[in-house]
Structure 1
Amino acid sequence: MTGANIPFTKWSVVSEDQLLAQIDAIWTNLPIAIEQASTILEQKHEILQEAEAYARETMQIAERRAAQILDDTGIVQRAQREAQQLHAQISEECDRLRKQTHVDNELLLDQAREDCDRLRDEADDYATQALFDLERQLLEMLRIARNGRESLLRAREPDRPSDPSARPSGRAQVRKAS
């Protein structure tokens, strides 16, 4: 951010538009971070759906295999046990993936919230500092203006006191009102 230097001081005046543009840029990036987190969550959901589809497909394969060997009772029973075991394994794997996805989603959301909070705090700190600097610069300019005015008054009216409130009414009072 650039600003104009105030002559004879170390101060600069910062454009309000530039300051607001910087704050707007920070606020503009917050939704992007949240959108990225949402995209990751959707990808995790798709992976979970693919795992469930894989489980269904595996179950269908196991059922077809069991149907092919129906002639032999021992084989059928063994196939049923294998199918049940396979079903249990796949169910456990799906549950594990679902839980892991849930944990990952929570971590991503927590990270996105922390990022948003951090960005908001940084924006607030930046705005506070910019306003503090502006206030300090304005006070300095006010001091310079008062000193200049008092110097001019002293130079024009050497016998009169420098305090404007102590002056008698007249020409000086008219200037003060305008």
Structure 2
Amino acid sequence: MLRPKPAHSESDRNGSIPASPEFHDGISENSTRTGSIDIQQEFNHLEEIVLASLHIPLTQYTLVDEEKLLEQLDFLRLSLPTAFQEAAEILQQKEEIILQAEEYGQQIVEAAQAKRAQILDHSDVLKQAEREASELRRQVQQECEAMMQETLEEIDRKRRQCQQEIEEMRRDAIAEAQAIQNGADEYADSVLQNIEEQLHDMLRIVRNGRHQLQQDLPGQRNS
């Protein structure tokens, strides 16, 4: 596949290609690790595939291994569910915190109720305990609601971020494919134009030769 060579790629003074990272079937070694996926790093690997490709001398084009490029894009596409899984894990952690807060609140309420039972004969103290228990219950409820709201906002932010990354990946892939196609078309057109010019020159030579032969034929018959 022909691709215009990126402007920021570099070569040494002898025109050799810089050393590139090792890839296995178009996917970098670091991409095969387990655990969290670094989307930005995988995009860097995609760029390294292009930069490590063979540059056509005296042109601005590069031969890109289409199979490696597509395999890296497939790997990125398959890695996106991992990002969603991380968001789900964050939600699970938030839910666990909320449950712990609710349990803590329940313990406080139960402690307040026990205290109220001990001072049942003292109405003033009992009323004070009820007010404290009610206030604690209200505070715990507010904290739980605030934590739930924060969790929902975090999930929504993660979802929007993932959607934006997917859309950017799609636009970049389309633009890259279009640029490669345009480069290939321009290269093919220049080759065909060169062949056309050569054929015009050959046709002119043939016509001149025939014309010269036609002028020499009458003289040869007379002799």
TM-score by length of 1: 0.71
The residue aligned with 1:3 is 54
User: Size of the alignment, in residue pairs?
Assistant: 157
Q: Distance in 2 between matches of 1:32 and 1:135?
A: 38
Check whether the contact 2:54–2:62 (CA below 8 A) recurs between aligned residues. yes
- Counterpart of 2:205 (choices 136, 151, 158) is 158
Higher helix share: 1
The residue aligned with 1:49 is 99
Cα offset for 1:103? 2.0
* Most deviating of 101-110 and 10-19: 10-19
Q: Distance in 1 between matches of 2:131 and 2:77?
A: 59
Q: Distance in 1 between matches of 2:192 and 2:178?
A: 21
Identity %: 27
Q: In the TM superposition, what are the counterparts of 1:71-110 in structure 2 within 5 Å?
A: 71-110=121-160
Q: Which amino acid aligns with 2:83?
A: A
Return 5+ residue gaps in structure 2 as ranges: 1-49, 209-223
Asked whether 1:31 is paired with 2:81, we answer: yes
Check whether the contact 1:30–1:119 (CA below 8 A) recurs between aligned residues. no
CA RMSD of aligned residues (A): 2.8
Q: Which amino acid aligns with 2:143?
A: E
1:112-155 residue CA offsets vs partner (Å, 9 max, x unmatched): 2222222222222222222222222233333344455x27x818
Q: Distance in 2 between matches of 1:89 and 1:8?
A: 73
Return 5+ residue gaps in structure 1 as ranges: 162-178
TM-score by length of 2: 0.58
Sort the Cα spacing of 1:107 and 1:13 in 2 relative to 1 into closer, same or farther, 3 A: closer
- Counterpart of 1:64 (choices 95, 108, 114) is 114
